[in-house]
Structures are given as structure tokens and as C-alpha cells.
């Protein structure tokens, strides 16, 4: 059975939240969307967090065993092109996760030409230019 996991970027506090791992935020599902409730305050009217950006786990791990999520920035080592940086996204037309290499360069699926994949950050972080040592 495929493992379903989600995380959420909190663009107010600039940090990643992992559903099921947070102590002061409760996540629930109302049938069509995820609801995050902040329970840190003593106020009985807890605050619903509408500003979170949710990302789904792809079901894949990188070469170091790190879970790969939608929105991750990865270093791909390929037989054909050496190494390059790509962003993990969900492509509706293919009903699958893909690596987007740049807006003008399109995307690709994982195939036998990829020797390795390493998570180097996510789309919400400022990243350094890609080097071969990363």
C-alpha cells in the first residue's frame, strides 16, 4: 500500500510543518480539504491556519534515504547530462510527479538514465548555485 504523507510550508513563520509530527498544530480533513488549527494559544477559539501551502510525499526517497516531497529541489545525476537541478511537481496531464528543470526546459519522469537523486532544499528556501559537490 502506498504511504500518504503531507507537509505544509508556513509562510508566516517561514518553516516547514510535517503533518502528524507537530505538537501545537492539529491537522484534520473535512472531506475536500485539510484544516490546520493552531492550539498554542490559551484562547478557546483556536486559530485556523489558512495560509499554509501543502505538499504531498511522492513515495520516493533520495539516494540518502530522505523522503522526496512535491516542492523539493533536487540534484539529479543523469547518464546523459551529468548533473542538474530540478523541482519536484505534480503534473496533472500525466497524473504523476515529475522533475521540472526550468520553466523553458520542460519536465521529465524518472527513468533508467537517472543515476542518483539528492534533495538539496525546497522551493521556499533560498538555495546556493548547484555545485558538483552537493
Residue 132 has pLDDT above 80, yes or no: no
Q: Which of 15, 105, 90 is nearest to 60 (CA)?
A: 90
Residue 134 has pLDDT above 60, yes or no: no
Lookup: cell for 31: 472531506
For 26, which DSSP code? Answer: E
| pLDDT tens digits, 19-72 | 888 888 888 888 888 888 888 766 666 778 888 999 999 988 898 999 999 999
In the chain, what is the straight-line distance between the N-terminal and C-terminal CA atoms, in Å?
A: 33
Q: Which of 77, 84, 118 is nearest to 102 (CA)?
A: 84
Look at residue 115 in the predicted model and tell me its pLDDT.
72
Rounded to two decimals, what is the model's pTM? 0.82
Reported confidence tier of residue 2, pLDDT bands at 50, 70, 90 = confident
| Strand-strand pairing, 72-78 and 25-29 | unpaired
Q: How many CA atoms lie within 13 A of 39 on its CB side?
A: 9
Count the neighbouring beta carbons within 10 Å of the beta carbon of residue 63: 13
Amino acid at each position: 500500500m502506498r504511504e500518504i504523507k503531507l507537509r505544509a510550508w508556513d509562510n508566516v513563520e517561514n518553516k516547514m510543518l510535517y503533518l502528524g509530527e507537530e505538537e501545537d498544530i492539529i491537522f484534520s480533513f473535512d472531506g475536500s480539504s485539510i484544516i490546520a488549527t493552531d492550539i498554542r494559544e490559551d484562547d478557546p477559539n483556536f486559530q485556523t491556519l489558512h495560509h499554509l501551502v501543502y505538499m504531498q510525499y511522492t513515495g520516493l526517497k533520495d539516494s540518502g534515504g530522505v523522503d522526496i516531497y512535491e516542492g523539493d529541489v533536487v540534484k539529479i545525476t543523469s547518464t546523459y547530462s551529468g548533473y542538474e537541478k530540478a523541482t519536484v511537481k505534480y503534473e496533472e496531464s500525466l497524473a504523476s510527479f515529475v522533475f521540472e528543470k526550468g520553466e523553458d526546459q520542460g519536465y521529465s519522469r524518472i527513468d533508467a538514465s537517472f543515476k542518483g537523486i539528492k534533495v538539496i532544499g525546497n522551493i521556499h528556501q533560498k538555495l546556493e548555485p548547484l555545485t558538483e559537490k552537493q
